[in-house]
Structure 1
C-alpha cells in the first residue's frame, strides 16, 4: 500500500529542503521475466539503463499552514525510431490545494471568513442528501463558481478565472460524488452520456473471456480485490469480473442506442443511481486498466514501441510490474485512494478515449487544458472533465460550441 503524500503536521516537513532532486539512472525491472510469465513477483530486478528519470519532490504550504508533498516525475525517453526525445511532467494526484508559488501560499494563509466556512461546508457535503448522489443535477457553471469561490485570495481569483474560461465552452456543471471513484465515475458518465455506438473493443468475442484467460496465466491475480471484499477464490473472481464486463457491454449498448439526448441523460442518471450496478462497472474499468497495463508491459519487455506514460507507470517503486500495480494501486482505487495522474493515461488507453481536463489551478499556464493521452489516437472520442486540484473531478455539460483538441 502506498504511503500517503499529505502530512498532518507541517512543522517537521518544513525543515526539509523545498525541492529535492533525485536522479534515477537505472530503471529497475524484473530480471528477464518472459512476457507470458509475470507471476514471479519477487524476481530479482535487472539493471538495464533503458531511460533516465528525474523525480522532484516539492513541499508546498497549505492554506492551513501545514505542509504537503507533491511529486513531479520528469521522463526523458529516447524514441530510437523517431530519433527524438519526449518530455512529460506528471504532477502527483496528492495535490490538495491549488497553490502555484510560495508567494501565493503565504498569502493564502490569510483567508477571509467566507472562504474558511466554504471549506468546512465542503468537508461535510457528502453527508447531505445531494452529496450522496453519484452525479448531482446540473447547475449554471458561473453560479456554481460564485457559490464555491467567494474569497479574494489569489487561489480564489485564479479559480474564478478558470471557471470563466470553461464557461466559454460549457454552460453548466454537474458535481461528481467525492469519493475515491470520482475519476472513474466522471469519465464513464461522460462517455456513456455521449455514446452513439458500441466501441469496437467491447464488440470483441474474446472480451468476456479476458478474466479467465488472464487468471490462467498469472497466478498473482488471485490477489485482485473485488469491491470491498478482501479475498475470493480464483474461480469466483473470474466469474464475477466476467459478469461486470458483460454488464458494462450491456449498459453501453443500451444507452448508445437511445437517440433522444434527453432520454439518454435520463438513462445515465438512472444507472448512476443504482449503486450495485454503478460500482460493478468501476470494477470492470479497473480490470480493463490492469489488462491494458499487462499489454503495455509485455510490449515494452519485447522491445515494441509503447506510449511515454508506460515508462513512467512502471518506473515507480510501487508499480515496477503489473503485479505491483495491481497490489499497490488498482486494488486501492475506490477504497483508500483515487487515480494518480499517470493512471489517468492508463484509463484513457483502456477505454480508447481522450480525456480532456480543465485543470483550474493551472489557469493561465500551458497545463490549463491537459489531455490524456497528450498525443491522442485519431478517431478516439473525447470526454471533458474539470478539476480544481487533480484529486476531485466534476463534469461540464451543455456545450456552447464544439470542443476541439
Structure 2
C-alpha cells in the first residue's frame, strides 16, 4: 500500500534491526496519505483504537541484544508517554492521540496490568516467574494440592495442561460468587457463552496459555493438514531464515541459553517436523472421541507440548518478517502489522524477537496485537469471548477482524485478555 511518504531504503529486515530503525520510526510517526481512501483510513483508526486501548503491558528490552538491537540505547519513557506515541504512530493523526490516550486510563476492573521483565539466565528465576503467573488463576487449596503432586510425581506424569470438561455455568458459579459489578458482568458473560457451548475446559495458567488454548482447539477439530504445513520447504524454514538474518541465532530456545546457530536451526527444524506429524496424525482420526483422546494425550506430554509452542513462535517470527518486508516494499499488509511495528519495542522483526517472542513462555504471554500475528501464522480465525467486555461491541473479538472466508475458526474464552480457557461441546454451530 502506497503512503504519503516513502520510507528510505534500509535493506531487508536484518538491516532494519540496526541502522534502519531510526528511519522506520520517523516514517511511522508522520501522517500518511492512504490511497485506499477514507474508508480504509477509518478502518485503520478503528483498529488502532481497539488494539492500543487494550495493550496495557510494558515490555522491558532484553539484556542480550548487544549491537544487534539499537533499541537498547533509547531513552526510557513512562507508560503514558509510550502509549501516546504508539497511538500517534498508529493513527497518523495527532489530533486523535489525546482522545485515544484517555481511553487507556479508563481501565476495566477486571483488567490486570503486567510488566514483562527480561529473560534471566537463571533457571530458578524463570521457574519462579511461571509459578507466580500460574498462581494468579488458582485458589490456595489447588496450589497446595499442586505442591504435593509435584513432590510425589515427575512433572511429565503430573502435568495436566487442559483440565477435563466442566459445565460452563457450574464453572462460573464456582469462580464468581460475589455480587460486585465485575462478578455480575462475568456471570452475564458466561451465560452468553452457555448459549453456544455446554462445557468449558480450564487451561493451565502459565505464559503459554494463548498457544495452548489455540493449538488444542485447532487440533481437536482438525480434519486435514493445512496447506502451509504441506509445503516442501516447510522444514527448511529455520535454515533459510538463518542464512538471511544472522540475528536469529539469538533465538531463545525454551530454557536453553547460548546455543550455536547450527544447533538452533536443527532443533527448530525438529519442532516443525513434530508439529506437522502431530497435526497429520490427529487430523486423520475420524471418531470425535478418539480424536479428543489423542489431543489429551499430546497435551499431557510436556516435552512434546512445549516443542510445539517453540514451532508456533518461530512461525510467528517468519510471518512477521514477511509482513515487514511486504510493507516496506509497498505491498498491502493487514492493519495490525502497522501497529505491530509501531511499538518502540518492536519496530522491526529483530526487536520483535528479542523483546517479545523470546519472552513468551518465560516472563510474559501474548499481547493483543500478537494474537493477530498468531492467527496469521496458523491461517486460523481466533474468536475470543472477552467476558469483561460483556454488553459492548468488543465482547466477541475476532483475530483477525477481517478473516479469510476459508480459514477455520477456533473459539477461546478470556476474563482479562491474559489467560485463555476453552469452550467445548457446541450447542449450535459457530460460523462466521
Q: TM-score over 0.5 for the alignment?
A: yes
> What is the CA distance between 1:77 and its match in structure 2?
7.2
Q: Choose which of 171, 185, 199 in structure 2 pairs with 1:172.
A: 199
Q: Choose which of 220, 229, 236 in structure 2 pairs with 1:202.
A: 229
Distance in 2 between the 1:309 and 1:32 partners?
22
Distance in 2 between the 1:314 and 1:126 partners?
39
Distance in 1 between the 2:26 and 2:222 partners?
43
Q: Choose which of 255, 273, 278 in structure 2 pairs with 1:246.
A: 273
Distance in 1 between the 2:175 and 2:309 partners?
29
Aligned residue for 1:174, secondary structure, equals strand
Report the TM-score, using the length of structure 2 for normalisation. 0.74
Distance in 2 between the 1:120 and 1:284 partners?
26
What is residue 69 of structure 1 aligned with on the other side?
A: none
Q: Choose which of 5, 22, 47 in structure 2 pairs with 1:45.
A: 22
Structure 2 unaligned regions, length at least 5: 59-103, 111-134, 150-157
Distance in 2 between the 1:224 and 1:102 partners?
36
The answer (yes or no) to whether the contact 2:14–2:246 under 8 Å persists in 1 is no
The answer (yes or no) to whether the contact 1:28–1:47 under 8 Å persists in 2 is no
Matching of residue 322 in structure 1 with residue 322 in structure 2: no
Distance in 2 between the 1:335 and 1:48 partners?
28
Distance in 2 between the 1:184 and 1:366 partners?
25
Equivalences for residues 376-387 of structure 1 within 5 A: 376-387=403-414
What is residue 318 of structure 2 aligned with on the other side?
A: 291
Superimposed CA distance per residue, residues 40-85 of structure 1 (whole angstroms, 9 cap, x where no aligned partner): 53445116765569xxxxxxxxxxxxxxxxxxxxxx9764135521
Q: Choose which of 331, 334, 346 in structure 1 pairs with 2:361.
A: 334
Distance in 1 between the 2:310 and 2:107 partners?
42
> What is the CA distance between 1:201 and its match in structure 2?
0.0
Superimposed CA distance per residue, residues 71-100 of structure 1 (whole angstroms, 9 cap, x where no aligned partner): xxxxx97641355212211111649xxxx9
Aligned residue for 2:384, secondary structure, equals strand
Distance in 2 between the 1:103 and 1:343 partners?
20
Superimposed CA distance per residue, residues 231-261 of structure 1 (whole angstroms, 9 cap, x where no aligned partner): 2000000000000000000000000000000
Q: Which aligned runs of 4 or more in structure 1 are off by greater than 6 angstroms?
A: 26-29, 100-104
Matching of residue 344 in structure 1 with residue 371 in structure 2: yes
Counterparts in 2 of 1:221 and 1:149: CA distance versus 1, 3 Å? same
Distance in 2 between the 1:47 and 1:297 partners?
11
Matching of residue 375 in structure 1 with residue 395 in structure 2: no
Distance in 2 between the 1:352 and 1:120 partners?
30
What is residue 219 of structure 1 aligned with on the other side?
A: 246
Structure 1 unaligned regions, length at least 5: 1-25, 54-75, 107-117
The answer (yes or no) to whether the contact 2:186–2:387 under 8 Å persists in 1 is yes
What is residue 155 of structure 1 aligned with on the other side?
A: 182
What is residue 12 of structure 2 aligned with on the other side?
A: 35
Counterparts in 2 of 1:237 and 1:105: CA distance versus 1, 3 Å? closer
Query: What RMSD over aligned residues (CA atoms) do the two structures have, in Å?
Result: 2.9
What is residue 55 of structure 2 aligned with on the other side?
A: 92
Superimposed CA distance per residue, residues 329-362 of structure 1 (whole angstroms, 9 cap, x where no aligned partner): 0000000000000000000000000000000000
What is residue 122 of structure 1 aligned with on the other side?
A: 139
The answer (yes or no) to whether the contact 1:36–1:217 under 8 Å persists in 2 is no
Counterparts in 2 of 1:78 and 1:149: CA distance versus 1, 3 Å? farther
What is residue 83 of structure 2 aligned with on the other side?
A: none
Matching of residue 81 in structure 1 with residue 98 in structure 2: no
Aligned residue for 1:365, secondary structure, equals coil
Relative contact order (alpha carbons < 8 A, sep ≥ 6): 1 or 2 greater? 2
> What is the CA distance between 1:365 and its match in structure 2?
0.1
Moved more, 203-212 or 33-42: 33-42
